[in-house]
Amino acid sequence: MPTTLPTKQTHVNRRPDPHKGLNPAQIEAVQAPTGPLLVLAGAGTGKTRVVIARILHLVQQGTPPERILAVTFTNKAAREMVLRIGGKFKKKRTSQASTQDDPIQKPEISTIHSLCVRILRRHAEHAGYPTRFIIVDRSEQETTARRVLKELKVADATLRPADLLARISHWKSRGVRANEVFDTLSTDADDSWDLAAAGYQRYQRLMHGVGAVDFDDLLLVVDQLFDQHETIRQQEAQRFDHVLVDEYQDTSGIQERILSALASDHRSLCVVGDDDQSIYAWRGAQISHILDFPTRWPGATVVRLEENYRSTPEIIEAANKLIERNSRRHDKTLVSRAPSGLKPNIVQAQDEVDEARRVTADVEGLLRERYAPHNEMAILVRTGEQTRVFETELRHRNIPYELIGSRSFFDRREVKDVLSFLRLLIDQTDDLALSRIANVPPRGLSYNAVEKARKKATESGESLWSTLLELSNTGQLSSAASAGVDRLEQLIALGPANTKGGTTASEALQHVLNQANYQQYLEKEFEDQREQEARWQSVEEIVNGLARHEKAHRDADPAAVVQRYLDDLILEVQEAERFEDDKPKGNTLKLMTLHAAKGLEFDCVWMVGLEENLLPHIRAANEGLSAIDEERRLCYVGVTRARKRLVLSLALTRMKWGKAKPCKPSRFLYELTGQSEKFTEGPAKAREKVGAKPRTRRAPGGR
């Protein structure tokens, strides 16, 4: 009688107890019955540990590992989960026939884009794509967009390739297909939107014609497949018995539809997230997905994780006081399980430079005391232009730092443009500066015209500017190029050496930028409003820096002040480059925006610029309550990054286009300190106290 060999199996390595070390709420989440499950995981409550423990629990209950899908929203998070869960599974040798080459069945852990790639590979022909479809990169997208606009005879001044791609991405992320795009346009939309819609349709035809998809297509095409082919949706859904989703508060509409389609049959959908940390509405994330989950999935189990293992009770108390001010949220209150520590410190500085000096001096003191290493310290800003003064002070104190999620201030395109304008205003023989901004913004001075002048200047030994003037005056340039030279000459005439009536260099620079329509140029160059604002704020910081320099050297000639300012900046840039080379790897203070800090944690955190119109941002103040709520969630994210020490700082005045303007303390400072009733919408007072005396470095109870 033949012997039947047992089937090779995968089991959890050594059958670890998935509940070991978990608190009661975490155990409840792990053991919750199959079906819709919402795990509200507050900051620092161990959500990744719970997700992994639930996967192990499901396997021990009999679910084959490969029947479990876990979706994260970043490759980093997916890699971390794979690493943490990888050693939990091994082959179970049930016969002599088992070998070391036997595959180990594991849960499928991936980002939603990676998941959609695999789905599309299996069903590409039903979407009209070859099985070996191409996923194009950004440069290939731009090449295609450029071709589209050329075929449509659209000038760059009307719609640039980057603008077209931004609008296409906007439509795709909202599930709008090319054949539907015209139906979504409002009747009062300007002509550029009609051109973009036509460009979207032609772009898709070109991409489809060569069997290519872009990053956004991966979701759009799969969503379309599920919508048009029920058998495909069922086939993909039947591959899994359980679907787990991390960071559910960050899902967009199209992402949520795909995930729901995979779980709608078995209804074993476990979503983990925190509505209090939903800060990506501007990327298409919809907080309603997590807020309305119990309604959209009837019978859902809701488990709240409220025990925080990251931050001191003092920090958590402040965080709770802040976030409870949001009207629409799931009810939960964090409780710290960490030892008691220091109360959050509030620092009131005279201005942004004083703020940077006080914060970096505090950093230096803690490093000297060995309170924490460099890599356990972070300075968090609301906007990118705030980093400049902190970069300067950190370098002056020889504190190694790393700028996360952004380029150094001096590497920014608009900064280089404005500095070139400034250099040219005091020295028309600066050929490098002229070369950069000769046709920025476009004024008819084409590349060919500038190159013609450059060659003649090299031969004659004259400056590029004098040669351009000569060629224009002698009719050797086209009428458009000559007109461009005239416009540039008018701008140069606004320089500080030519102005009268006490006009400062910073004011002269503002006049030049206004006359050059540089802000409008940035708006055309960058489609996204937030990007436009960030770029223009960097320009403002150059003006503010020049104004601060003027204040320090009031008696000097305006041109001499500008030259000294430029010299100092050049030295600062060189110092930054040297500092980067010398910077120890892996042990650096982190300087980053609040958005970039999400998911991270540090022993010491300095949140700076807590002023109305900065945090909350002025844009949110103009948009209404929901936007303020998101800014409050952003502030909450920053506060909950701190384990042991939290410092909140503000400036009593801040430079605005070369003039010192009074600042009003952020409403969030009042809320964090339990003084929300004291906040008013009225004008700022000269010295408004919020939890600490003006100009004191440490608040009572602080370190």
404: left (phi over 0), alpha (psi -120 to 50) or beta: beta
Residue 247 annotated as catalytic = yes
Among candidate residues 163, 216, 217, 246, the one labeled active-site is 246
The secondary structure of 132-169 as a DSSP string is T-EE--HHHHHHHHHHHHHHTT--TTT--HHHHHHHHH
Provide the pairing of β-strand 307-308 with 335-336.
parallel
Q: Is 74 a catalytic residue?
A: no
> Is the Cβ–Cβ distance between 534 and 383 less than 8 Å?
yes
Using CA atoms, how far apart are residues 571 and 557, in angstroms rounded to an integer? 21
Beta bridge partners of 655: 660
Measured between alpha carbons, how far is 200 from 170 in angstroms, rounded to an integer? Answer: 11
Q: Is 48 a catalytic residue?
A: yes
Tokens 């965080």 belong to 319
Whole-angstrom distance, CA of residue 562 vs CA of residue 549: 8
DSSP assigned state of 527: -
Angle between helical axes of 387-396 and 558-582 (0-180°, round to 10): 70
Measured between alpha carbons, how far is 11 from 467 in angstroms, rounded to an integer?
Answer: 79
The two tokens of residue 225 are 């497949």
Distance CA 545, CA 534 (A): 16
- The tokens for 685 are 């007072």
Is 470 among the residues known to form the active site?
no
| Spatial distance between the Cα atoms of 350 and 363, rounded to a whole number of angstroms | 19
Active site annotation includes 246: yes
Q: Could you say which of 233, 641, 644, 667 is catalytic?
A: 641
CA distances in angstroms from 154 to 150, 151, 252, listed in the order given = 6, 8, 32
The SS3 assignment for 476 reads: coil
Contact indicator for 273, 249 with CB cutoff of 8 Å? yes
* Contact status, residue 633 vs residue 323, Cβ threshold 8 Å: yes
Residues whose CB falls within 8 Å of the CB of residue 416, separated by 6 or more in sequence, listed in order: 410, 436
659-662 and 642-651: which strand pairing? unpaired
The residue annotated as part of the active site, out of 163, 223, 247, 376, is 247
In this structure, what token pair is assigned to residue 291? Answer: 């807020």
Two tokens at 699?
């608040």
Other CB atoms closer than 10 Å to residue 628's CB: what's the count? 18
Which tokens hold the place of 90?
């091994």
Between strands 269-273 and 37-41, the pairing is parallel
Rg of the chain, C-alpha, whole Å = 29
In the block, tokens 């792990």 appear at 30
Rounded Cα distance between 470 and 344, Å, is 64
Residues 314 and 50 sit within 8 Å (Cβ to Cβ): no
Phi-psi region of 657 (alpha: psi -120 to 50; beta: other; left: phi over 0): left
| Catalytic, out of 48, 503, 519, 532 | 48
Amino acid identity, position 679: F
* The residue type at 607: M
Give the Cβ contact number of residue 659 at 10 Å: 12
Which of 10, 26, 45, 47 is flagged as catalytic?
Answer: 47
CB 464 within 8 A of CB 431: yes
CA 332 to chain CA mean position, Å:
27
**One of 204, 277, 467, 653 is an active-site residue; which one?**
277
The single-letter code of the amino acid at 661 is: K
The residues that are catalytic are 47-48, 246-247, 277, 641
